[in-house]
């Protein structure tokens, strides 16, 4: 690893409810995660990012936080969390957690106090209460305002159970500074900032919608950066969704966030021109700022790559999820393997969402009565939502819950997953799991942060060389292509054919 660990890290995202169940209640927890730490160490990751693990009514999968200084009881205890951090560090794995600064839970002490205190109170000034709502819509569907019994309305850009904080209030700033210190003092290595661009609101207009990317939001992160710099090698990561790379780059200035998720790359279709341009723009934008790029193929909000890459339209847009669109899973699986080698060969850090290393497809046939994503409810049951990429992992065995735990899992697992368990793939040298293990091992030794040199291999092929002499070639065209001169084949996403690289296949070569 480089001196600044996060510049070239391989970071594994854990959606705790669905990773491993240690107590048999059907919900993933810290006991399950701690038991599976050797698996993550063997996989070859440098850090773990956990989705919110705080006490929560789970109206939005834990992103409705009731207490930022404790652990959700169904996950474990604060003492267990501290033990987990210690055990991860002993294995050389850093720990990153989510902080959700835009909103809290309607069950938080602050919001309950605000409801009890009434209009005009200091407690209500921590949130956005108005006598009359405006016409803003919730990101989850429906209005962004809910009325309380005394007649006032409160703002929630997401679900009604997630009231937005008022970031013009200094008390809110102080609260989150204290939250950051609370976790940094317990050894947390990084903070991923949920919905990072929407904290500040402008009810008299704004660019473009009154709450996205307003200038004052950068003051928040400058103050967070000053705080994080008081600690050794602490990381701030922004969840920032922008098609405009220049606006995106503002969050990566030297006095703001260290990195931000590269959703442009994630959303790019399986197209050589689109991927080449995304990579080019990303490296140019980050290079001017001295910030490392990040490469992401999936997460807990996005249709899994195996399903997405098998569709006629392989791009991704949160506003047009295309849930249930037909998918050729065999084609998607082949492309997902190639995409993994592409992402891991690029300069910067790479994120792996749990189950990505198993090649899990999106689960699109969850019974309606079992769906839990508020998108499903708020859309009037027209948007299936994100449950399909959050189904608990299959670890072993021939029937559900496939070693996830001893009880029925909180979301149902497909019967077909018996073929893609960790146990089944571990014994198959050609499995997706063993591809990831091999790639992450080579990546740790030879790749990570740095630069690349593009090679001219034709319009349908992406090819570049890294400083160590490792060359990555990805064929996105309709037919096989000749491999460039090389000394050895290090790793391929699929079988090579007499010195040629088949369609939808990637290879890592050793060159002099």
- Tell me the CB-side half-sphere exposure of residue 82, using CA atoms within 13 A: 10
465-490 pLDDT, tens digit each: 999 999 999 999 999 999 999 999 99
Judge whether residue 144 has pLDDT over 80. yes
Q: Are 432 and 337 in contact (CB under 8 A)?
A: yes
For residue 79, give the 3-state DSSP assignment. helix
Residue given tokens 């007499």 in the structure block? 498
Tokens, residue 502: 């088949």
For 163-182, the DSSP string reads PBB-TTSHHHHHHHHHHHHH
Q: How large a percentage of the chain has pLDDT more than 70? A: 99
Q: Is residue 207 scored above 60 in pLDDT?
A: no
Q: Return the exposure string of 163-184: e unless at least 16 CB atoms fall within 10 Å of the residue's CB, then b.
A: bbbbbeeeebbebbeebbeebb
What is the rounded CA–CA span in Å between residue 156 and residue 145? 6
In sequence order, what are the residues at sequence separation of 6 or more whose Cβ sits closer than 8 angstroms to the Cβ of residue 112? none
CB 392 within 8 A of CB 28: yes
Q: Which of 230, 277, 497, 500 is catalytic?
A: 230
Determine the pLDDT at residue 208.
61
Parallel, antiparallel or unpaired: strands 129-130 and 153-155:
antiparallel
Residues 421, 419: Cα–Cα separation, whole Å? 6
Buried b (16+ CB within 10 A) or exposed e, 104-138: bbbbbebbeebbeeeeeeebbbbbbbeeebeebeb
% of the chain beyond a pLDDT of 90: 83
Cα gap 391→400, rounded to integer Å: 12
Range among 204-213, 365-374, 439-448 rated most confident: 439-448
| Of residues 377 and 395, more confidently modeled | 395
Q: What is the pTM of this model?
A: 0.94
Q: Residue 68 corresponds to which tokens in the numbers above?
A: 């930022």
For residues 421 and 145, what is the distance between their CA atoms, to the nearest angstrom? 43
Residue 267 has pLDDT above 80, yes or no: yes
- Is the preceding omega at residue 401 within 30 degrees of 0, hence cis? yes
Domain boundaries, the chain: 109-155, 449-510
Find the catalytic residue in 46, 60, 189, 194. Answer: 194
> Is the pLDDT assigned to residue 82 strictly greater than 80?
yes
More confident residue, 381 or 493: 493
What token pair was written down for 99?
Answer: 């902080």
Is 67 in contact with 108 (CB distance < 8 Å)? yes
pLDDT band of residue 441 (cuts 50, 70, 90) is: very high
User: What string of DSSP letters covers 191-233?
Assistant: EEETTTT-S---TT--SSSSSSS-TTHHHHHHHHHHHHTTSSS
Contact 102, 164 (CB under 8 A): yes
Residue 236 banded pLDDT, cuts 50, 70, 90? very high
Q: 61-65, 203-207, 265-269, 391-395: which range is least confident on average?
A: 203-207
CATH of domain 449-510: 2.60.40.1180
∠ Cα 124 215 192 (to 5°): 75
Q: What is the pLDDT of residues 48-70, one digit of tens each?
A: 999 999 999 999 889 999 999 99
Distance CA 223, CA 257 (A): 10
Distance CA 80, CA 281 (A): 42
CATH number of the structural domain 109-155: 3.90.400.10
Largest interatomic CA distance in the chain:
76
pLDDT band per the 50, 70, 90 thresholds, residue 3: low
The confidence band for 2, taking pLDDT boundaries of 50, 70 and 90, is very low
Using the predicted structure, report yes or no on whether residue 167 has a pLDDT greater than 80.
Answer: yes
419 has a pLDDT exceeding 60: yes
Helices (H) and strands (E) in the chain, counts: 14, 18
92-125 pLDDT, tens digit per residue, is: 999 999 999 999 999 999 999 999 999 999 999 9
With 90 as the cut, is the pLDDT of residue 512 above it? no
CA-based angle 97:100:106, to the nearest 5? 130
Examine the pLDDT at 499 and tell me if it is beyond 90. Answer: no
User: pLDDT tens-digit profile of 317-351?
Assistant: 877 788 889 999 999 999 999 999 999 999 999 99
Q: What was the pLDDT predicted at 1?
A: 33
What are 10's two structure tokens? 């391989």
Instruction: Cite the beta strand spans of 325-477 per DSSP E.
Output: 349-353, 452-454, 461-466, 470-475
What is the band of 261 on the pLDDT scale with cuts at 50, 70, 90?
A: confident
Rounded CA-CA distance 20/89 in Å is: 20
Task: Determine the Cα–Cα distance for residues 482 and 489; give it in Å rounded to an integer.
Answer: 13
230 is known as an active-site residue: yes
Alpha-carbon distances, residue 425 vs 324, 394, 415 (angstroms): 27, 11, 16
**Token pair in block for residue 206:** 């704004």
Kindly state the tokens that stand for 334: 């082949």
Q: How far is CA 453 from CA 117, 462, 493, in A?
A: 61, 11, 21
Strands 47-50 and 10-14: parallel
Strands (DSSP E) contained in 332-457 are 349-353, 452-454
> Closest by alpha carbon to 389, among 351, 418, 353?
353
């Amino acid at each position: 690893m480089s001196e600044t660990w996060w510049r070239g890290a391989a970071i594994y995202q854990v959606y705790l409810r669905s990773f491993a169940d240690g107590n048999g209640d059907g919900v993933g927890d810290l006991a399950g995660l701690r038991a599976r730490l050797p698996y993550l160490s063997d996989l070859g990751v440098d850090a773990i990012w956990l989705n919110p693990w705080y006490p929560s009514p789970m109206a939005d999968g834990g992103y409705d936080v009731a207490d930022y200084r404790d652990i959700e009881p169904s996950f474990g205890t604060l003492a267990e969390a501290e033990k987990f951090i210690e055990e991860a560090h002993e294995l050389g794995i850093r720990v990153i957690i989510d902080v959700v600064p835009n909103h809290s839970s309607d069950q938080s002490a602050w919001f309950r106090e605000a409801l009890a205190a009434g209009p005009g109170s200091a407690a209500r000034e921590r949130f956005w209460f108005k006598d009359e709502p405006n016409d803003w819509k919730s990101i989850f569907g429906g209005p962004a305002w809910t009325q309380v019994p005394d007649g006032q309305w409160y703002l929630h850009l997401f679900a009604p159970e997630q009231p937005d904080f008022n970031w013009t209030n200094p008390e809110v700033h102080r609260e989150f500074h204290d939250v950051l210190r609370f976790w940094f003092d317990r050894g947390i290595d990084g903070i991923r900032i949920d919905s990072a661009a929407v904290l500040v609101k402008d009810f008299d207009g704004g660019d473009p919608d009154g709450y996205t990317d307003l200038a004052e939001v950068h003051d928040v992160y400058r103050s967070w950066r000053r705080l994080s710099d008081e600690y050794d090698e602490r990381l701030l990561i922004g969840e920032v969704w922008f098609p405009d790379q220049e606006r995106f780059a503002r969050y990566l200035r030297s006095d703001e966030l260290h990195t931000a998720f590269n959703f442009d790359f994630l959303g790019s279709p399986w197209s050589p021109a689109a991927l080449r341009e995304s990579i080019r723009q990303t490296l140019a934008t980050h290079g001017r700022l001295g910030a490392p790029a990040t490469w992401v193929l999936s997460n807990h909000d996005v249709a899994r790559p195996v399903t997405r890459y098998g569709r006629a339209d392989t791009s991704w847009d949160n506003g047009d999820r295309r849930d249930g669109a037909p998918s050729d899973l065999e084609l998607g699986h082949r492309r997902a393997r190639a995409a993994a080698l592409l992402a891991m060969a690029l300069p910067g850090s790479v994120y792996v969402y749990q189950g990505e290393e198993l090649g899990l497809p999106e689960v699109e046939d969850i019974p309606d009565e079992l769906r839990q994503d508020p998108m499903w409810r708020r859309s009037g049951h027209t948007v299936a939502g994100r449950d399909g990429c959050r189904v608990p992992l299959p670890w072993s065995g021939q029937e559900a819950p496939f070693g996830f735990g001893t009880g029925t899992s909180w979301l149902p697992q497909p019967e077909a997953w018996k073929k893609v368990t960790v146990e089944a793939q571990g014994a198959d040298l050609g499995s997706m799991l063993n591809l990831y293990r091999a790639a992450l091992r080579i990546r740790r030794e030879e790749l990570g942060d740095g630069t690349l040199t593009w090679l001219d291999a034709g319009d349908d092929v992406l090819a570049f060389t890294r400083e160590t002499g490792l060359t990555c070639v990805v064929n996105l065209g309709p037919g096989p292509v000749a491999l460039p001169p090389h000394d050895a084949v290090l790793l391929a996403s699929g079988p090579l054919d007499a010195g040629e690289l088949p369609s939808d296949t990637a290879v890592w070569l050793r060159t002099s």
